[in-house]
A and B are shown apart, each in its own frame.
Chain A
Amino acid sequence: MTAIGARLFGDASIWGNFLSHPQGFLLITVTDLRKVYRQGDRDVVALDGVTLRVPKGSVHGIIGHSGAGKSTLVRCLTLLDRPTSGSVSIGDRELSSVSDAELRRARRRIGMVFQHANLLDSRTTAQNVAFPLELVGTPKQEAARKVAELLKLVGLDRFADAYPSQLSGGQRQRVGIARALATDPDVLLCDEPTSALDPATTEEILDLIKALRDRLGLTVLIITHEMHVVKRACDSVSLLEAGRIVESGRLADVVASPGGRLSMALLPLPGEAPEVLPGGPVLDLLYSGDAAAMPVISGIARRFDTDVNVLAGSVEHLGEAQFAHLRIQLPSSADLAAITAHLTANGIAVTTKEA
């Protein structure tokens, strides 16, 4: 387990603690989850064996187009729909086989944030946040104290008596997040949390989610169709397609795997990057971290005394690290083998487009 964890998730500091405690390491474990719907007289496979491991304290993104099975996955994770087969567990508690009463208790360990916040319009901000506490009969004073604390945490203490209709989309989502945190959950499950928000508000909400993870030690699962959300907020990511996870791993690792679908999506070459041009070999360079900080292009030019033509490129900060994806063309006279070897030796993934 530890070895796999280290390989998948690297050894960044937040993972370190948990690697040494293999027992409490994985918080969300989904194993071979299948969901088959009966539609008329034919079966529709919405989830086709989804397996997912999310370590405690991480922000994991699940990205997929509409129809990939995202909504079904969320409904199965919270047991709003019973999976056809497979298991879901949070911590060491298996959810898919428990009784209704136990399920209700287990659900209180999951805080859920919805695309449209799903606040109750008949309640004020404070009453909405108090809702989960009311369900378990928390004494009024204690609930009021907790609600005040949560509203302060999400920066809405001045809006305690406002109704949802008086709040902006971003504020409503903050209320939704405060409400999700009311029962001190271990997991924050976010279903398209920013898809209904404008770009600036999206940033705010994602920053808030990350800050809460750091402060409360939450494990966060974000389901989204926006690559931007993954770039901005996630430590690791899974690509969901036709009910299957087709790629998965730490952000730094999936970005750095050349030819990968997530890599292409996370670091796309801008515009209509020409695949092949007459004149010389075209190289795709993918590099990260320390390598991204090096003057790669001028380095090649000096060392091999050649011209380098940059056709397209993108450079991005993802999480803590910098990543670059460049498409360059060399003159036909250039020593392709030597240059490729030199780049590879420096930790740069090279894909040659024309031999």
Chain B
Amino acid sequence: MAEAILTAKDLVKHYPIKGGVLRRTVGHVKAVDGVSFELLKGETLGIVGESGCGKSTLGRLLMRLEEPTSGSVVFDGVDMYAQRGRAMRKLRRDIQIVFQDPYTSLNPRKTVGDIVGEPFDIHPDVVPRKGRRKAVQDLLDLVGLNPEHINRYPHQFSGGQRQRIGIARGIALNPKVLICDEPVSALDVSVQAQVVNLMEKLQDELGLSYVFIAHDLSVVRHISDRVGVMYLGKMAELGEEDDIYGRPTHPYTQALLSAVPVPDPTLRDKREQIVLKGDVPSPANPPSGCRFHTRCFKAQEKCSVEIPLLEIRPDGAGGHLSACHFAAPREIIETVDLTDTPQATTFDSGLRDDSSLEPVGDGTQDS
């Protein structure tokens, strides 16, 4: 087993809720409430969950864009939250981020060259001043954009092309870990595949480790080696991709998987759907015991009292981490394994953006 490169331990982030005339703290939004995991070298760890589950806050904590309420993140043996000044800046070279929204993640008043070259301005010792233009062009080439577009502005690019620019900025300092916060969810279907393939290629070539945060379970399955499922600030289930998709033991994971529509009409009536009652409770006032018990089809009295620990529970073929008192495997989807089947496809992997010579249309979804 590969060694861990990033270890999160009991991460907690509570945002105070201010109220009243004196702006006193009247409560806390428990965005992330005790999350622990390890990211192994060269792997992709997918984090899935619905809106409000704390997955984006988790990403920001891992980047130290927020200070945690408690808990630690250890990168390569170094406690990230204990670092200050120069040491923290040095650490930032190794962990970088790709954002969701290709429109707000690039400064509209800077050229592509400025944006992708900014990491070198902040860390001037990485590339000598003279070589920067070349380095930026190499990066553009690496992410499949035309290196001659170095002087263009972001609004001259489509959504997919902008996301490539964001990735180029993220990998400029040669990081070891890339946190990807919903990197493809704002993109059109056909463009999404281009970016996913690019990210897989870059991982192979540069030996990156990804934390891939997304709400799309299909994309996460495609790209991830291991997957963590979050619900209301806690990790509900964590395991290998096969464990989570093939033998889920947590009722929330099972419900989530059963709700995802599969693009195959013949499965229409064969799929059984687990319908959850009610809405996700407010993270300011999460339920006692197991946070899922208010919506769970398996809930019993124990669940509202005792918090289930995230521990290895049997799943029928060994075991994996699950936070349910009554964890039991249940096959929700029948997996077709295509790993060794040659797949004849009409189109290539879209690693290079052929159209980057001329921006046309707009690669983001209709709203």
- State yes or no: do A and B come from one complex: no
**What residues make up the interface of A, taking CB atoms closer than 8 Å to B?**
none
**What residues make up the interface of B, taking CB atoms closer than 8 Å to A?**
none
